Structure 1
Amino acid sequence: MGEGVGEITGLEDLELAEVRPFRGIRYKERLVKDLGRIICPPYDVIPPAQQEIYYRREENNAIRLEYPMEQPGDNAESNKYTRAAVTLQNWLEDGVLQVDQSPAFYLHDHYFTYMGERRRRRGLIARVRLEPWYCGIYPHEETYSKAKSDRLQLMRAIQATSSSILVLYQDSAQGVAEILSKAAQDKPTIECHCGQSEAISVEEQHLIWTITEPGLTRRITELLADVPLYIADGHHRYETGLTYQKERIREVGTSTGNEGFNYIMMELEDFYDPGLAILPIHRLLRGVATSSLAQLRTKLEHIFAVESIPLTEGSVSNLGGKMTGEAVLAILGLEREALLILRQRQDVSIEGMMPDNRCQAYKNFDVSILSHLILHEMLGVVDGEGDIAYTVDTNEAWQQIREGEYQLAFLLNEPQVDVIKAIADARDRMPRKSTYFYPKVPAGLIMNSLD
């Protein structure tokens, strides 16, 4: 999977991010045996119906800090953000949460099942200095302003973060990996198992080790001092952190640079980690005029070679086997009982039809091609606006088409890590909702104070 990920170039004079150990906030030892009932996914993958399920599961569930619920009668003085702040303070005072005595890096082994295979994803939870984009921190995807507004109000209220931003880095000499492998030989500080439930659709296991020995923490910081970090999941949270940092610096007047608000909590994972799984995010579309649908196949054939495959359960479930060669994407709903596979034509330059101000990797990326050439130019739709839904499940997409909830489903390829890196290195960004790093790093394992 790491094939094609080259060495970082052109960064000799660039200020890079600083990675530090920190005194994490975590649930007290007496609660660790039930931690699987207390942690929750990050806010952006929790539907409103599941939000209430997590509230009911356990009175100390991290959902109350990560994604607090609105209540009737909420106002400027009393609302979901102020309740989250009171909850955090109460949990610290009552001993539900504890602050670790020594600064630490937290080694996190995340076990899960993907495509029938048991995998382990290894990460290092750390504090990372907030820097402007491209000063050692690289985004790869566009963001939504509404999500950032919600996160900022929560951050102002609780002055902490309950979930880690997932970032990728290159451990070329495997120096960090060697330290983490040795640390994992000891007994883990935290071990929890999350079984399938009403809210959790996959069984996961989490092991956490605290690395506090000053020589080791100093060595990890040194090894990561010259390494660019690529945001995989958590762009909104990072941009919110930058805004919050600016607000706090204006508030205090002067900053030493060591205050908590100058850092954000991240989980760092190697580009080459064999457990890394990146899912495509498929598009579902409705509200398209009948006349536009009638003309769509003809328009598609001007650019793509269109192959029609009889539609069966297997043809959708095993889509990956059909998206080979020059396949760009597949479409459900345009032809009755047929799956359309779009492939690049040798006599057509798709890259030449894409916006001039975009990098080459962006121009050849399937989500970009869908957004610009099909949704916008052929259907007059802006990706991320209008009546578009998103899913990582091809069978769910097919069900929505069969039930008439949506007219079209656009099924995409698994994003490749070398494409993500190439677009980020070019200081370009993929369209919003281009990648889904699976599974999400949960909230509540380790938390971070911004004071």
Structure 2
Amino acid sequence: MARLYPFRALRYDPARVNMTDVVTQPYDKISPAMQERYYEVSPYNLIRVILGKQKPRDTDKENVYTRAAATLSEWRAEGILKEEAEPALYGYSQTYKVPGTEEVRERRGFIALAQLSDYADQVVYRHEQTFPKHKSDRLALFKATRAYCEQIYMLYSDPTFTAEKAIFESGAAPELEITDEYNVLHRVWKLTDPALIQRVLTAMDDKKLIIADGHHRYETSTGYMHERAAELGVDEKAEPTRTADGLPQPAFPEQAMMMTFVNMDAPGITILPTHRVAFGLIDFHGREFARKAEAYFNVEEIPNTPEGLFPGDAALLKRLNDTPGVAFIAATRDGDFLLTPKPEAIAPLLSNLSPRQQQLDVTQLHKVVLEKLLGLNEETVRAGSNVRYLREASEALAQVGSGNADIAFLIKPVTLEQMKDISLNLEVMPQKSTDFYPKLLSGLAMYTLD
């Protein structure tokens, strides 16, 4: 059973800052160039907390994590960040164009706390692998700041739309509107009415939760919850306490984490593909790769343009998406190739996976192409030693063209139904299998443990 809680969020004071200048994309989507821009736009930008700059002379006593904690403390003391006077939930909508199209969608959800639990409890489900390095980084930040400044993106199923109706049908104007660097409009409503809050919490009681974005932060927060429960000598599954209004609160602060909840049955969810580039391959040659791939795939070379140039990303993606079933584009400096699987040939390489896993494009790419054809074992791929993950096909192709990568693999997106099926059957896909768009802004609300 999912246990959700309202909370007294720590929030920027809009009278002291321009909100557009202080919020950011999630930490794992921030490039070095974006980090620099966030630093420059405002001295109060959240980047200084969630992804600060490292310095050459950093030590155990002074480092990116201690500076984050000091910055957060200073902003609270100055009144740049203020804690809300009463517990609340926060309606949250994002209006955006689907990348590469003119289609406009709105994704609606709400921000609340949720009690943390192990995957074995089958309340929260994951859908992809994680990177150990990312988890150790987030744990160090959580321990130093004692605050969760970013939300985890959670999915649930409710065909009756009970929570959405309670939150959004009043017609009230949002208290906050921000347009981000991707031209996504973010709107936030603060909900403090105890009766409304209780209706939403009750509607969520029986829901199973699937992590869309934030696997690293969820697993890190859960580990931290176990650690703190042992230190405090409390039951990590203790019953909630109650406010004067009868609203539930976590038994101890680390028992919960801040999340945004989105109904899978509502319109507005978009999943983009995450393309792969492989680099640092010894004696790699594109045509030799294509020849070896013929043992497992039908390989069709995509001809150059009449001008003798390689096809651009739009042409390659159209060719990929027009191909039914599992397919990848392998782009090299020697040529571009469309790969479609030979089922009997690849079957032995996928025999230890469930039928639902065997049908996934991303699984076949990892198991057959990365591991078998390129010789990159699972641990190497998970460590990121020879593989990068990119949203933009144009960037993947550019890395190959510049020599910063040996080969790019353009893939189709995982569908919402595939992800749900994998998750609820306690399976996981390879890391970075999904790219939910748009991302949740960091800095709209924060959950402090002290």
Q: Determine which of 50, 68, 80 is the counterpart of 1:84.
A: 68
Q: Is the CA contact (8 Å cut-off) linking 1:327 and 1:341 kept in structure 2?
A: no
Q: Sort the Cα spacing of 1:434 and 1:291 in 2 relative to 1 into closer, same or farther, 3 A.
A: closer
Aligned AA (1:359): S
- Fraction of identical pairs, as percent: 33
1:348 corresponds in structure 2 to: 344
| Counterpart check, 1:445 vs 2:444 | yes
Q: Does 2:304 match 1:308?
A: no
Confirm or deny: 8 A CA contact 2:326 2:360 kept in the other structure: no
Match of 1:283 among 269, 276, 279: 276
Q: Could you tell me whether the CA contact under 8 Å between 2:109 and 2:164 is conserved in 1?
A: no
Paired with 1:373 and 1:380, the residues of 2 have a C-alpha distance of: 10
RMSD (Å) for aligned C-alpha atoms = 2.0
2:136 is aligned to 149
Q: Distance in 2 between the 1:282 and 1:408 partners?
A: 11
| 1:17 aligns to 2:10 (yes or no) | no
Aligned to 2:109: 123
Q: Is it true that 1:235 corresponds to 2:215 in the alignment? A: yes
- How far did residue 272 of structure 1 move? 3.1
Sort the Cα spacing of 1:72 and 1:378 in 2 relative to 1 into closer, same or farther, 3 A. Answer: closer
Contact 1:279–1:435 (CA<8 Å) still a contact in 2?
yes
Instruction: Find out whether 1:138 has 2:125 as its counterpart.
Output: yes
Counterpart code for 2:157: Q
Query: For residues 268 and 351 of structure 1, do their structure 2 counterparts lie closer, same or farther at Cα, with a shift above 3 Å needed?
Result: farther
Match of 1:423 in 2: 422
Contact 1:23 1:104 in 2 (8 A): yes
CA distance 1:301–1:349, change in 2 (3 Å)? closer
Q: What is the SS of the residue equivalent to 1:415? A: coil
Counterpart in 2 of 1:50? 34
Counterpart of 1:246?
226
Is 2:174 the partner of 1:191? no
1:295 Cα shift? 4.1
Shift, 1:192, TM fit: 2.1
Cα shift at 1:319: 3.7
Residue number among 355, 364, 373 corresponding to 1:369 in the alignment:
364
Paired with 2:166 and 2:314, the residues of 1 have a C-alpha distance of: 40
Q: Distance in 1 between matches of 2:315 and 2:418?
A: 23
Q: Does 1:28 align with 2:10?
A: no
In structure 2, relative to structure 1, the CA distance for the partners of 1:54 and 1:298 (3 Å cut) is same
Matches within 5 A, 1:64-103: 64-103=48-87
**Which residue number corresponds to residue 246 of structure 2?**
none
Contact 1:263 1:450 survives alignment (8 Å) = no
Instruction: Check conservation: 2:90, 2:189, Cα contact below 8 A.
Output: yes
Contact 1:43 1:66 (8 Å CA) reproduced: yes
Residue aligning to 2:388: 389
Q: Per the alignment, in what secondary structure is the counterpart of residue 397 of structure 1? A: helix
Give the match for residue 41 of structure 1: 25
How far, CA to CA, are the matches of 1:267 and 1:334 in structure 2?
Answer: 42
Contact 2:331 2:407 in 1 (8 A): yes
Contact map agreement 1:366 1:413 (CA 8 A) in 2:
yes
Against the structure 1 CA distance between its residues 142 and 23, is the aligned structure 2 distance closer, same or farther, given a 3 Å change threshold?
Answer: same
Structure 1 residue 130: Cα displacement: 0.3
Instruction: Assess if the C-alpha contact under 8 Å between 2:284 and 2:406 holds in 1.
Output: no
1:297 aligned onto 2:290: yes
* Counterpart contact for 1:176–1:220, Cα < 8 Å: yes
1:353 Cα deviation after fit:
2.9
AA partner of residue 58 (structure 2) = D
Q: Is the 8 A contact 2:127 2:419 kept in 1?
A: yes
Output the CA distance in 1 between the equivalents of 2:316 and 2:88. 44
* TM-aligned CA deviation for residue 440 of structure 1: 1.4
Partners of 1:439 and 1:316 in 2: how far apart? 21
**Are residue 414 (structure 1) and residue 400 (structure 2) matched?**
no
Give 2:290's aligned amino acid. Answer: R
What TM-score results when the alignment is normalised by the length of structure 1? 0.89
Task: Please give the secondary structure, in 1, of the residue aligned with 2:15.
Answer: helix
- Contact 2:161–2:266 (CA under 8 A) maintained in structure 1: no
Contact map agreement 1:359 1:423 (CA 8 A) in 2: no
Residues of 2 paired with 1:306 and 1:51: CA distance? 41
| Number of aligned residue pairs | 424
CA contact (8 A) 1:304 1:343 kept: yes
Checking the alignment, whether the CA contact within 8 Å between 1:316 and 1:394 is kept in structure 2 is yes
Per-residue CA deviations over 1:89-120 (Å, capped at 9, x if unaligned) read 22222211111122111101112222333322
CA distance in 1, matches of 2:316, 2:194: 50
Q: 1:173 aligns with which of 145, 151, 160?
A: 160
Give 5+ residue unaligned stretches, structure 2: 240-250
Q: What is the match of residue 7 of structure 1?
A: none
TM-superposed deviation, 1:68: 2.0
Q: Given the superposition, is the C-alpha separation of residues 259 and 186 from structure 1 closer, same or farther in structure 2, using an over 3 Å criterion?
A: same
For 2:313, the aligned partner's letter is V
Q: CA deviation at 1:169?
A: 0.9
For normalisation by structure 2, the TM-score amounts to 0.89
Letter matched to residue 136 of structure 2: S
**Unmatched 5+ stretches in structure 1:** 1-15, 195-199
Tell me by how many angstroms 1:321 deviates.
Answer: 3.2
Contact 1:351 1:360 in 2 (8 A): no
Deviates more, 1:291-300 or 1:134-143: 291-300
Alpha-carbon distance change, 436 to 291 in structure 1, aligned in 2, over 3 angstroms = closer
Q: Which moved more, 1:219-228 or 1:391-400?
A: 391-400
Contact 2:177-2:188 within 8 A present in 1 as well:
yes
Q: Please say if residues 274 and 389 of structure 2, whose CA atoms lie closer than 8 Å, have aligned partners that are also in contact.
A: yes
